[in-house]
Amino acid sequence: MIIRRARIEDIPAITDIQIGGWLAAYRGMISDEDLEKMKASRAKRIARHGDCIQTMTYIVAENDGEIVGFSRYIDNNSFSPDFDVDCELLALYVKPDRKRQGIGKALINYVKDAFRKQGKKRMILWCLKDNMPSRGFYEAMGGTLADREKEFDLDGHKYSEVGFLYEL
């Protein structure tokens, strides 16, 4: 497996991994209506990732030519300005059938190392509050639960997220 910077041609695979991840992990946590909209909005999501890849860093995990996971991160706290952090891991996804193979660990370690090389000191990532498997993973990777939560709105439905802080 190799970890590398994402390229424009990786965007459809990235989008499919994101959608597949939501459908597999968030059933029962996110409304079925919102999950079904994920599939229907694939073209829109491809376009949005295409725009974001210009301003944020995307990396992919590739195994035998197949994209099996990805991360997106930024070297500032523009998405979490109320927290004492200087960088943020915005997305971490692994194909559902490839979980528990070290892919997520490799991606998060790559991001942490990249931030350390930039002189960053403290990273945050957000996780759906009810997503206990991911919360356990983030804790096992050294994250400390932040002292407060935040909400996000998805098509009029509110969901709570918890933050995990990492000292780099």
Residue with token string 């998405």? 79
Instruction: Report the number of distinct structural domains present in the chain.
Output: 1
Contact 59, 1 (CB under 8 A): no
Q: pLDDT tens, 101-127?
A: 999 999 999 999 999 999 999 999 999
How confident is residue 48, by pLDDT bands cut at 50, 70 and 90?
confident
Per-residue burial over 132-150, b = 16 or more CB atoms within 10 Å of its CB, e = otherwise = eebbebbeebebeebeeeb
Q: Can you tell me the distance from the alpha carbon of 162 to that of 149, in angstroms, rounded to the nearest whole number?
A: 5
Element (H, E) at 38: helix 32-40
Residue 79: per-residue pLDDT? 83
End-to-end alpha carbon distance in the chain: 24
* DSSP SS3 for 33: helix
pTM: predicted TM-score of the whole model, two decimal places: 0.90
pLDDT in tens, 20-36: 988 888 888 888 888 88
Give the percent of the chain with pLDDT over 90. 64
Q: Could you tell me which residues are beta bridge partners of residue 2?
A: 62
CA 157, chain centre distance (Å):
20
Tell me: pLDDT of 38 over 80: no
CATH assignment at residue 94: 3.40.630.30
Nearest to 69 by CA among 32, 106, 37: 106
Give pLDDT, residue 106. 97
Residue at token pair 């692994």: 94
What is the residue range of 26's domain?
2-167
pLDDT given for residue 62 in this prediction: 97
